[in-house]
Amino acid sequence: MKVLVIGGGGREHAIVWKLSQSRLVDKIYCCPGNAGIATLAECIDVSQNDFSLLLDFVKHEWIDLTIVGPEEPLSKGIVDLFEREGRKIMGPNRAAVQLESSKVFSKDIMRLHGIPTAEYKVFTSYLHAEEYLKFKGVPIVIKADGLAAGKGVFVASDMDEAIHALKLIMKDRVFGEAGDRVIIEQCLTGEEASYMVFTDGKTIVPMVSSQDHKRIFDGDAGPNTGGMGAYSPAPVITEELEKEILERIMKPTLMALRADGIDYKGILYAGIMIDKGRPYVLEFNCRLGDPETQPVLARLDSDFMEIAMAIADEKLSTVRIEWKQEPAVCVVISSGGYPGQYSKGSRIEGIEEADGMEGVHVFHAGTSFEDGRIITSGGRVLGVTAEGSDIALAKKRAYEAVGKIHFDGMHYRKDIADRALKREK
């Protein structure tokens, strides 16, 4: 079979890597891909949002399945177009993706159907939002309604910080029309975790749990990013909690959409806060998380292509999905200055040596080629992922591999998975 993967980040490299192991796959294409993906797939120079060209490519090359990695093409309706044209594609349609593309839509669904989430209020007026902030006090959470590449959520611990976040979204318009509406919500406290499931609209199959590290600096300090590392499993998600998440969050959400005439097929991801032992939804995403995908797929012991085809064909109940017991840890290496302004074009050394280590996979995110050399081309550059018999060994291997990689201005957190190790003690 031929498969096309849309996207060019660490998540997509992990997907392509897993597809390359499939007995069903003969040829992998990726759009636009990156320097790492290019070693496993044929990268095509087409914008991931140029649906017309992508559709022509799929028809011309007789692609059997398209897998969409990032949220933007999903939110713009690529699944709707491909399905109208009779082309097989894995991912939710535009109506379903509102769970991610509109935080207001998502919060309203949760409130209407009793799905546990933080108390909130929606504003279109800056003055009204500022008045409400001063009335509620801090700590408080301010969110842009639309897609903001994982950077549209601000957790403010003092009022100046809260007002600044509100100005960035509503006055400075740093996220454009994504900031037309703002949600101000209660600040839940506890421990976060990522919970993802496969679904074909009828059957739900959980993935192994994981935990992301959003802040740029150690100790969860500094601004939010797209994710600076992740590990799987997340010990905070016990068997009892997993059952509660499935029964009180994932299943009711899919049923709520179905009640509104929306069929959901693909990946459903819930960002969960465990507050006083109970799970609450922070946000929904409609695709695999990044960098959670890297350790999660490293633990997948089944054929990813078989799963993807079963989702597209609504036959997920016929597939047996198995997972490795061994944990995995992913450490993201970013360009200096990220998530703000950062430079590109730095030559990267040591990838091959790191990737050759036992149990280590170096997934590329913001990389490209220049004169035959691999250079930086994005904010998050690499996701160094390692497996081990326990979290401690996986972390040790990941950081040993990180130590072999060098480029000007490289930055990474030193505390990925420390929370899991503390729990084990």
> Which CATH number belongs to the domain containing residue 67 in this structure?
3.40.50.20
Q: Is residue 353 part of a domain?
A: yes
Positions of the chain with pLDDT under 70: 424-425
Residue 237 near residue 217 (C-beta atoms within 8 A): no
- Are 399 and 360 contained in the same domain? yes
CA dist list (Å): 327 to 209, 353, 414: 10, 22, 18
- Are 169 and 208 contained in the same domain? no
- Are 23 and 135 contained in the same domain? no
The range of the structural domain enclosing residue 173 comes to 125-180
pLDDT for the residue 223: 87
pLDDT for the residue 422: 83
Q: Is residue 372 part of a domain?
A: yes
- Are 263 and 218 contained in the same domain? yes
Q: Domain of 140: which CATH number?
A: 3.30.1490.20
Q: Is residue 220 part of a domain?
A: yes
- Are 272 and 157 contained in the same domain? no
Q: Domain of 335: which CATH number?
A: 3.90.600.10
pLDDT for the residue 378: 97
Residue 353 near residue 404 (C-beta atoms within 8 A): yes
CA atoms within 13 A on the CB side of 226: 28
- Are 390 and 334 contained in the same domain? yes
Q: What is the Cα 9 distance to its own chain's centre?
A: 10
Q: Is residue 101 part of a domain?
A: no
Q: Is residue 106 part of a domain?
A: no
Q: How many CB atoms lie within 10 A of CB 23?
A: 7
For the chain, the domain total comes to 4
The domain boundary residue, chosen from 269, 298, 318: 318
- Pairing verdict, β 65-68 and 42-43: unpaired
pLDDT for the residue 367: 98
Phi, psi of 287 (to 5 degrees): -160, 175
Cα–Cα–Cα angle for 416, 418, 419, rounded to 5 degrees: 110
- Are 342 and 361 contained in the same domain? yes
- Are 216 and 313 contained in the same domain? yes
pLDDT for the residue 425: 60
- Are 196 and 304 contained in the same domain? yes
3-state secondary structure the chain: CEEEEEECCHHHHHHHHHHCCCCCCCEEEEEECCCCHHHCCEECCCCCCCHHHHHHHHHHHCCCEEEECCHHHHHCCHHHHHHHCCCCEECCCCCCCHHHHCHHHHHHHHHHCCCCECCEEEECCHHHHHHHHHHHCCCEEEEECCCCCCCCEEEECCHHHHHHHHHHHHCCCCCHHHHCCEEEEECCCCEEEEEEEEECCCCEEECCCEEECCEEEHHHEEEECCCCEEEECCCCCCHHHHHHHHHHHHHHHHHHHHHCCCCCCEEEEEEEEEECCEEEEEEEECCCCCCCHHHHHHCECCCHHHHHHHHHCCCHHHCCCCECCCCEEEEEEECCCCCCCCCCCCECECHHHHHCCCCEEEEECCEEEECCEEEECCCEEEEEEEECCCHHHHHHHHHHHHCCCECCCCECCCCCCHHHHHHHC
pLDDT for the residue 151: 78
- Are 294 and 261 contained in the same domain? yes
The domain boundary residue, chosen from 318, 336, 361: 318
Nearest to 310 by CA among 209, 196, 207, 205: 205
CA atoms within 13 A on the CB side of 399: 13
- Are 276 and 381 contained in the same domain? no
- Are 161 and 142 contained in the same domain? yes
The domain boundary residue, chosen from 76, 92, 108: 92
CA 417, CA 230: separation in Å to the nearest integer? 7
- As beta bridge partners, residue 385 has 330, 361
Q: How many CB atoms lie within 10 A of CB 345?
A: 12
Nearest to 102 by CA among 318, 235, 262, 295: 262
Q: Domain of 258: which CATH number?
A: 3.30.470.20
